[in-house]
Amino acid sequence: MMKHKVIIDTDPGIDDTMAIAYAIAHPDIDLIALTTIFGNVSVEESTQNALSLLDYFGQQADVAQGETRPLVMEPKPHSYFVHGRNGLGEVEIPKSARSAVDLSAAEYLIEKTKEMPGEIDICAVGPLTNLARALEIDPTIAERVKTVSVMGGAVYRPGNVSPVAEANIWNDPDAAEKVFAASWPVVLAPLDVTTKVVLSPHFFADLEEADPKVGKLLSDMARFYARFYRSHSGINGCIPHDVMALAYLTIPGVYMQKRGALATVTKGPGIGQTIFNPAGKPTVDPMWGERPQHIALLDIDAGFFAAHYFDTIARRSPTEIGD
């Protein structure tokens, strides 16, 4: 089978780290690069975290630093209260001595898709500013990308930073609108699907036992994350949001998928809201008929997903579990 050639656009981030660990561990993913963005932390901190995580996981991949602020609006505060002061749940890992490549994230995405047209899967798990900037510089990038899987938005459920908005989209709604209006194949993993999966403290304790290096790091970071979830929403465990955008590439069959057009509210009290119009649903406003059709992931087999994630990180087949 051909491996998925993946670039993760990321603001690490605890659940970002869970996604990066999954990309490295999964036999069907070839992690080409991490492009960094502001969001959970500043873009400089994102870049340092990306480099340090790759070193910790023993993975060779490029890192390209991205945009420092949203396209139009004033920057929002970073999410240190969710992810810890260093973005990694306040778990210290050795700082990398390596540096990012000379290209910006947007330039890197453009160049890599020229090198490998039709082969690159971009997985965007932070604000979408780098992708929007790449579209501005070279609109033809949309023709060269295999897929753009995005963790973001809330379709049929409330947001997590406002009554209607999810954090990644809210952090740069103008960028999200550009990405959703482009003709590349977008797959959206919104809160509708991500919040269906809660990984418990027992899950991480077992993962730490199964993999004392990667599992222990994820378990240590998850403790901080779980404290946030417990105080914020009474959940016993944490939600691996970003992994679900990436796992669409490897286990698409566990998701309920719906085609339709996506748009983002860029002003007013609904700023950052993601709007979805299912394919075939008529509207009076002709705009919806003119927009590209994308995919929204709206439900998931949560038990299968959790078992699959565990097996991938622990590098064991399901038949080995319990031996």
Domain assignment present for 122:
yes
The model's pTM: 0.96
Domain assignment present for 130:
yes
Domain assignment present for 204:
yes
- State how far the Cα of 22 lies from the Cα of 240, in Å rounded to an integer: 11
- Backbone φ and ψ for 241, nearest 5 degrees, come out as -40, -55
Candidate list 4, 78, 83, 241, residue with the active-site label: 241
- Mean pLDDT, range 136-143, rounded to an integer: 98
Any catalytic annotation for residue 102? no
| Confidence label for 316 from pLDDT (cuts 50, 70 and 90) | low
- State how far the Cα of 136 lies from the Cα of 264, in Å rounded to an integer: 18
Whether 154 shows a pLDDT value over 70: the answer reads yes
For 56-97, the pLDDT digits (tens) are: 999 999 999 999 999 999 999 998 878 888 989 899 999 999
Whether 318 shows a pLDDT value over 60: the answer reads no
Partners of 259 in beta bridges: 295
Count of structural domains within the chain: 1
- State how far the Cα of 159 lies from the Cα of 174, in Å rounded to an integer: 17
Domain assignment present for 284:
yes
Domain assignment present for 323:
no
Say what the pLDDT of residue 183 is: 97
Residue 59, both tokens: 């993975």
Say what the pLDDT of residue 268 is: 97
- Mean pLDDT, range 288-300, rounded to an integer: 97
Whether 102 shows a pLDDT value over 50: the answer reads yes
Whether 323 shows a pLDDT value over 60: the answer reads no
Domain of residue 302 covers 4-317
Candidate list 9, 11, 172, 174, residue with the active-site label: 11
- The angle at the Cα of 168, spanning 154 to 273, to the nearest 5 degrees, equals 40
For 37-63, the pLDDT digits (tens) are: 999 999 999 999 999 999 999 999 999
Nearest CA to 178 out of 50, 256, 264 is that of: 264
Question: Which strands sit side by side in the sheet containing 62-65, from one edge to the other?
Answer: 62-65, 29-36, 4-10, 120-124, 145-151, 186-189, 294-300, 255-264, 274-278
CATH of the domain at 99: 3.90.245.10
Say what the pLDDT of residue 225 is: 78
Domain assignment present for 322:
no
Give CA 305 to chain center in angstroms. 16
In angstroms, the Cα distances linking 99 to 51, 54, 59, 103, 263 are 7, 12, 14, 12, 36
- Backbone φ and ψ for 9, nearest 5 degrees, come out as -95, 115
- Mean pLDDT, range 286-302, rounded to an integer: 96
Share of the chain above pLDDT 90, in %: 88
The answer to whether the Cα torsion of 174, 137, 185, 182 is positive or negative is positive
For 176-225, the pLDDT digits (tens) are: 999 999 999 999 999 999 999 999 999 999 999 999 999 999 999 998 87
Say what the pLDDT of residue 228 is: 78
> What average pLDDT does the chain have?
94
Any catalytic annotation for residue 241? yes
Whether 319 shows a pLDDT value over 70: the answer reads no
Q: How much helix, strand and coil, in percent to the nearest 5, is found in the chain? A: 40, 20, 40
Say what the pLDDT of residue 226 is: 78
| Confidence label for 245 from pLDDT (cuts 50, 70 and 90) | very high
- Mean pLDDT, range 92-111, rounded to an integer: 97
Say what the pLDDT of residue 114 is: 98
